[in-house]
Amino acid sequence: MNELTFPILRLLTDGKFHSGETIAQQLKVSRATVWNALQDAEKLGIEIFSVRGRGYKLPQSVTLLDEQAILSAMGPQSSLLKLEIHDHLDSTNTYLMKKLSTGQAHANCVATNLQTNGRGRRGRTWQAGLGASLTFSLLWRFQCGAAGLSGLSLAVGIALIRALHHFGVTQAQLKWPNDVLIGHEKLAGILIELQGDMEGPSVAVIGVGINLNLPASIKQQIDQPATDLASVTQTPINPNLLLGELLKHLTDVLSTFEQRGFASVRDEWTSYHAYHQQAVRMLHPDGRETTGIVVNVAEDGNLLVSTAAGEQRFSSGEISLRAS
């Protein structure tokens, strides 16, 4: 990215018009340089209004991530992790996965203001935009092997729900294994990537994307119903406070999970499940569909469903759950 793009975007975060001349003076560059840097921003999908005689503006004001604000929102638990804030990354998960080989420390959190190549599960894409989304990943090392981590992605969902409830978003629910929904629309997603052998130790990169305020241009690129926090709260939630609260609950849930496993939080998980004891369709990767009624989740995080063929057990890689 052009090295001036983010310094200019910082000036525009107030959502007001700034003339090319003022920006050029503030950054001690030419107006053509400003124009070039903003062309680069547009190539990254950032919408910028440009009006002759008035200058440039973002569609609305944007609160950028601020390390100190996040750490103070976390309170004393902030001493448990190391936080890294970036202006722009392709993907916070990809960034941390690449760092694994260099022995990246336990409890590293990487967040970015703009993620341009976000990943979902099984090669799918996660759409995000500047000021539109909160995107971050947390690296967590476990003594146990990958086999002991089967309920981890569900446990992480609990931390998201607890944090959302703190901000009054009490209607947020989970969809097995770990999507966060409001109504039947997706608000947030979790991508967990593991490294290590079956016996351990192992390391997880836990990626979270939450929609703050999706513009129509992003929403139309998403091929399933999606929602954002701006649609359900009266006043915008500050992303720094949200990330601090999320990290607080994540460190809590992860240490409970390490000590006592998913079984110890299973009932809480079930209480958040949008499809608990509901009729559902299960989409198999080969296009087949099975219908049934959700019975519960097992202590290892597998989904238990009552089907025409009796009670069946599904692991998260096997099916995608949909309302019946």
Residue ranges in contact with ligand BTN by CB under 6 A: 91-93, 115, 118-121, 124, 126, 135-137, 179, 189-191, 207-209
Closer CB to ligand BTN, 122 or 288, in the complex? 122
Site string for ligand ATP, 209-238 (x = CB under 6 A): --x----------xxx-x------------
What HEC string does the chain produce?
CCCCHHHHHHHHCCCCCECHHHHHHHHCCCHHHHHHHHHHHHHCCCCCEEECCCEEECCCCCCCCCHHHHHHHHHHHHHHCEEEEEEEECCHHHHHHHHHHHCCCCCEEEEEEEECCEECHHHCEECCCCCCEEEEEEEEEECCCHHHHCCHHHHHHHHHHHHHHHCCCCCEEEECCCEEEECCEEEEEEEEEEEECCCCCEEEEEEEEEECCCCHHHHCCCCCCECCHHHCCCCCCCHHHHHHHHHHHHHHHHHHHHHHCHHHHHHHHHHHECCCCCEEEEECCCCCEEEEEEEEECCCCCEEEEECCEEEEECCCCCEEEEC
Closer CB to ligand BTN, 136 or 142, in the complex? 136
Residue 93, binding choice from ligand BTN, ligand ATP, none, Cβ under 5 to 8 Å by partner class? ligand BTN
Among 131, 151, 189, 301, binds ligand ATP (CB under 6 A): 189
* Residue 275 touching ligand ATP (CB under 6 A): no
Q: Residue count at the site for ligand ATP (CB under 6 A)?
A: 17
CB of 192 to ligand BTN, least distance (A): 9
Residue 5, binding choice from ligand ATP, ligand BTN, none, Cβ under 5 to 8 Å by partner class? none
- Which range touches ligand ATP (CB under 6 A), out of 49-57, 60-68, 74-82, 119-127? 119-127
What sign does the CA torsion over 208, 212, 217, 220 have?
positive
Closer CB to ligand BTN, 109 or 237, in the complex? 109
CB of 216 to ligand ATP, least distance (A): 13
CA distances from 129 to 67, 76, 217 (A): 19, 31, 10
Residue 92, binding choice from ligand ATP, ligand BTN, none, Cβ under 5 to 8 Å by partner class? ligand BTN
Residue 55, binding choice from ligand BTN, ligand ATP, none, Cβ under 5 to 8 Å by partner class? none
The residues facing 9 across adjacent strands are none
Among 6, 56, 95, 126, binds ligand ATP (CB under 6 A): 126
Residue 91, binding choice from ligand ATP, ligand BTN, none, Cβ under 5 to 8 Å by partner class? ligand BTN
Residue 320, binding choice from ligand ATP, ligand BTN, none, Cβ under 5 to 8 Å by partner class? ligand ATP
Binding residues for ligand ATP (CB under 6 A):
120-122, 124-127, 179, 186, 189, 211, 222-224, 226, 320-321
